[in-house]
Amino acid sequence: DIQMTQSPSSLSASVGDRVTITCRSSQNIRHSLNWYQQKAGKAPKLIIYAAFSLHSGVPPRFSGSGSGTDFNLTISSLEPEDFATYHCQQSYSSPTFGQGTRVEIK
């Protein structure tokens, strides 16, 4: 199985901050990496697919980068509605997820 490791596990930031979350896979997954946003008590929502493609309706302050084993999710300027938990997921083989990164208000 491909292991996914996210860092940090949590971070505190303020509205307007630039935030970057990292996801590392245990083997080369090319661009088969997706990012989800999950708010408390809700199902996850797909925000980035295939490493850097913005899902429909997702604001452009979200961006994804990387390939192979190292990937980033960046929020260029945090909005109040962005405080949530973010999960990466590889779709190269049987799906596996990172452990999640909680973005909290500083």
Partner 1 sequence: EVQLVESGGGLVQPGGSLRLSCAASGFIISNYWMSWVRQVPGKGLEWVANIKQDGSERYYIDSVKGRFTISRDNAKNSLDLQMNSLRDEDTAVYYCAGEDVLTGGFDYWGQGTLVTVSS
From the CB of 89, what's the least distance to partner 1, in Å? 7
44: DSSP letter: -
Complex with partner 1: residue 72 or 91, whichever CB lies closer: 91
As given in the structure block, the two tokens for residue 11 are 């971070």
> Which of 55, 67, 68, 69 is close enough to bind partner 1 by CB under 8 A?
55
C-alpha span between 75 and 20 (Å, rounded): 7
Binding segment (CB under 8 A) for partner 1, from list 12-20, 59-67, 70-78, 92-100: 92-100
Whether 81 contacts 64, CB under 8 Å: no
Q: Centre a 10 Å sphere on the Cβ of residue 49 and count the other Cβ atoms it contains.
A: 19
Q: How far is CA 63 from the centre of its chain?
A: 9
> Which of 18, 39, 46, 70 is close enough to bind partner 1 by CB under 8 A?
46
Complex with partner 1: residue 1 or 70, whichever CB lies closer: 1
Should residue 34 be labelled a site residue for partner 1 when binding is judged by CB under 8 A? yes
As given in the structure block, the two tokens for residue 106 are 């500083």
**Positions in the binding site for partner 1 (CB under 8 A):** 1, 32, 34, 36, 42-46, 49-50, 53, 55, 87, 89, 91, 94-100
